[in-house]
Amino acid sequence: MTGGRWLLRAASLGAALLLWQGLTSLDVNLWLRFEQFPTVGEVAGAFTERAETGPFWQDLASSLRRIVTGFALAAVLGVAVGTAIARSRIAADVLGPLLEVLRPVPAIALVPVAILLFPSNEQGIVFITCTAAFFPVLVSTRHAVGALTPVWEEAVLTMGGGRARILFSVVLPGALPGIFGGLSVGIGVAWICVISAEMISGEYGVGYRTWQDYTVIDYPGVFVGMVTIGALGWLTSTAVERAGRRLTRWLPARDSSGPVPASAARTRTWRVPGRSPRTPHPATARAGATGPRSGSGPFPEQTREVTP
């Protein structure tokens, strides 16, 4: 990312903070009431005080542990079940109807179920977090696997590959872009539900502390919790997106200026055994010609345009 884009993003965030400071310091009270809102300075002071205490970091560690555990379970289960439903009619008939009935149920509505099923609040919160992230990953994986072209699978079968080779060499790599789309959505939904579960039945965590601040009318503390939640959500979603870009770096690159121009393309030549390599004519390479040329014999070289 260029320096100009970083500067634009920083300016956008700074403008929002200035607007917040102006509305609260002037006690604007039109249709929206800002006279009771804490100012940016008050929130920053409360955040500094909290950061110097042990309970703040304990709450932070508790929320991160719950989100990482629940999201990891959801990622593994969502990819496995989504792939099975997309690839197996039996799995689609057995698991599909049950999951479609459960999918519209909000994960936070499962708090009573978690209280009844699990012996501790910690396990119940992880269960709710896992359930929240599971369905976005499941749906994205199912659609990504179902959209793969069968030509790739047929090519592996032609070369003698089995089901395991098809799964790990064709299906999962080809579906990775769609899978990571679901993971990006799932991490955001997981944060919403883990904070809500901590507010309802948690003992520690950012959500629990934010709710406690609200009950004692500590509004700067409430905004400290909100800012902390937003920062944690941004960091974790960025980590997921970066992992997705790293694992799918084999995909064709496309920047904001549009597709790669023809002048940047390079030509690849396949050499037929027993014949000397020959550089094709640029016009022939651009056309992707594969037919015989004058003097090339019965086994002409095949060329195509490959964009970096």
Comparing 90-99, 144-153, 204-213, 234-243, the range with the smallest average pLDDT is: 144-153
Helix %, strand %, coil % for the chain, to 5? Answer: 70, 5, 25
Residue 266, H or E segment: strand 266-269
pLDDT band at residue 189, thresholds of 50, 70 and 90? very high
> In this structure, what token pair is assigned to residue 15?
């403008």
Task: Indicate the pairing of strand 303-306 with strand 266-269.
Answer: antiparallel
Instruction: Give ∠ CA 198-202-205 in degrees, rounded to 5.
Output: 65
Looking at this protein, which amino acid is placed at residue 48?
T
Maximum Cα interatomic distance, the chain, rounded to a whole number of Å: 89
Q: What is the pLDDT, as a whole number, of residue 296?
A: 43
Q: pLDDT tens-digit profile of 117-130?
A: 998 888 999 999 99
Residue 99, H or E segment: helix 89-102
Q: What is the pLDDT, as a whole number, of residue 158?
A: 82
Give Cβ neighbours of residue 58 (< 8 Å, ≥ 6 apart).
204
Whole-angstrom Cα distance, residue 142 to residue 129? 21
Q: What is the pLDDT, as a whole number, of residue 255?
A: 54
pLDDT of residue 262 exceeding 60: no
pLDDT band at residue 200, thresholds of 50, 70 and 90? confident
Q: Sign of torsion, CA 260 261 262 263?
A: negative
pLDDT of residue 133 exceeding 60: yes
pTM of the model: 0.76
Q: What is the pLDDT, as a whole number, of residue 232?
A: 93
Whole-angstrom Cα distance, residue 252 to residue 250? 7
Whole-angstrom Cα distance, residue 170 to residue 145? 10
